[in-house]
Amino acid sequence: MDSYGTAYGVINPGKDFKVVIEAHADEISWFVNHISKEGFIYVIRNGGSDHVIAPSKRVNIHTEKGIVRGVFGWPAIHTRSGKDANLNPALENIFIDVGAKNRDEVLKMGIHVGCVITYGSTLEILNDRYYVGRALDNRIGGFCIAEVARLLKEKKKKLPYSLYIVNAVQEEIGLRGAEMIAHRIKPDAAIITDVTHDTTTPMINTNKHGETECGKGPSLTYAPAVHNILRDLIIKTAETKKIPFQRAASSRSTGTDTDAFAYSNAGVPSALISLPLRYMHTTVEMAHKDDVENLTKLIYESLLKIESGHNFKYF
Ligand SMILES: [Zn+2]
């Protein structure tokens, strides 16, 4: 583990040529920012937490004394009339109630400014087809790269290079964990996996956001940070192994750890394999079982195609 908590394992350590497979480990949350005299807790974001979905959610406040339960309260519909008729959740007005009568009582529960707040929702399976839960972004990627490691061992595959299996912190606040670990490992190539939006659910404009759909396979991104040779190796692998895949494009950053790896050191050939996900950054993120399986298979098969000293030169 590195100083900030990024965890990694190495298969075949000590080789000159180093390849990374990576998924971020962190999840979005909230920080306690202010405790009012009346004992209500006001928050700021830790990553892209969505204020719109907060009211009526149960939360876990992480303290030195353990987890304290709370709820995001919200004024009843009956009380929202007149100028309050269109009251909407905003970062400034959402608040947590822990059942305390005032600030002193909140403090005595071990809650202070800076405590981290997460949702308590757990994993469920819908229609034997979809995983549903919070922080599938990107725990599910962590699961996939661990599965790749398991497959390599199970099938007794010998890689000609050192493979680093990396679960990096701080993606949600700006790819910082990947930045740190890329400098530590100095890899020769990196395959990143993260989630991407299923854009076929209501109210998402596919003209603007492209068309990606759960169940149709992992998505391969075309973007400046994505190395064409590495991405094409992955696409060719998908085609020969008959693994379904989709294509997506990003005009600048991919918004994933791919950018951090690609632009680290003197430039690291990097590619992104994304898992389509519905309702990102809610507590009911949905991922298709088939996509999870195909994504794992695609990383695994692609790794077997990478050579030690692989030539990533365009000319
Ligand atoms: Zn995210």
Question: DSSP of 7-55, one letter per residue?
Answer: EEEEESTT-SSEEEEEEE----EEEEEEE-TTSEEEEEEESS--GGG-T
195: three-class secondary structure by DSSP: strand
Look up residue 197 and give its DSSP letter.
E
Q: Give the pLDDT of residue 83.
A: 86
Q: Give the pLDDT of residue 4.
A: 98
In the block, tokens 């303290």 appear at: 63
CA distance 272 to 219: 8
Question: In tens digits, what is the pLDDT along the chain, a chain of 315 residues?
Answer: 999 999 999 999 999 999 999 999 999 999 999 999 999 999 999 999 999 999 999 999 999 999 999 999 999 999 999 888 889 999 999 999 999 999 999 999 999 999 999 998 899 999 999 999 999 999 999 999 999 999 999 999 999 999 999 999 999 999 999 999 999 999 999 999 999 999 999 999 999 999 999 999 999 999 999 999 999 999 999 999 999 999 999 999 999 999 999 999 999 999 999 999 999 999 999 999 999 999 999 999 999 999 999 999 999
Look up residue 168 and give its DSSP letter.
E
pTM: 0.96
Give the closest residue to 268 by CA, choosing from 26, 21, 5. 21
Q: How far apart are the CA of 153 and the centre of ligand 1, in A?
A: 30
Condensed to tens digits (0 to 9), the pLDDT of residues 77-122 reads: 999 998 888 899 999 999 999 999 999 999 999 999 999 999 988 9
**Residue of 171, 172, 179, 285 marked catalytic:** 171
Strands 7-11 and 270-277: unpaired
Q: How far apart are the CA of 196 and the centre of ligand 1, in A?
A: 9
Q: How far apart are the CA of 75 and the centre of ligand 1, in A?
A: 29
Q: Give the pLDDT of residue 84.
A: 86
Is 171 noted as a catalytic residue in this protein? yes
CB–CB of 51/41 below 8 Å? Answer: no
Peptide bond into 138 cis (omega under 30): yes
DSSP 232-245: HHHHHHHHHTT---
Strands 189-197 and 18-24: parallel
147: three-class secondary structure by DSSP: helix
Backbone dihedral angles phi then psi of residue 238, each to the nearest 5 degrees: -60, -40
Q: Which helix (H) or strand (E) holds 273?
A: strand 270-277
Backbone dihedral angles phi then psi of residue 247, each to the nearest 5 degrees: -120, 145
Q: How far apart are the CA of 279 and the centre of ligand 1, in A?
A: 11
Q: 61: which 2 tokens?
A: 């406040």
Domains of the chain and any CATH numbers: 7-27+135-303 (3.40.630.10), 29-119 (2.40.30.40)
Bridge partner residues of 248 (DSSP) = 221
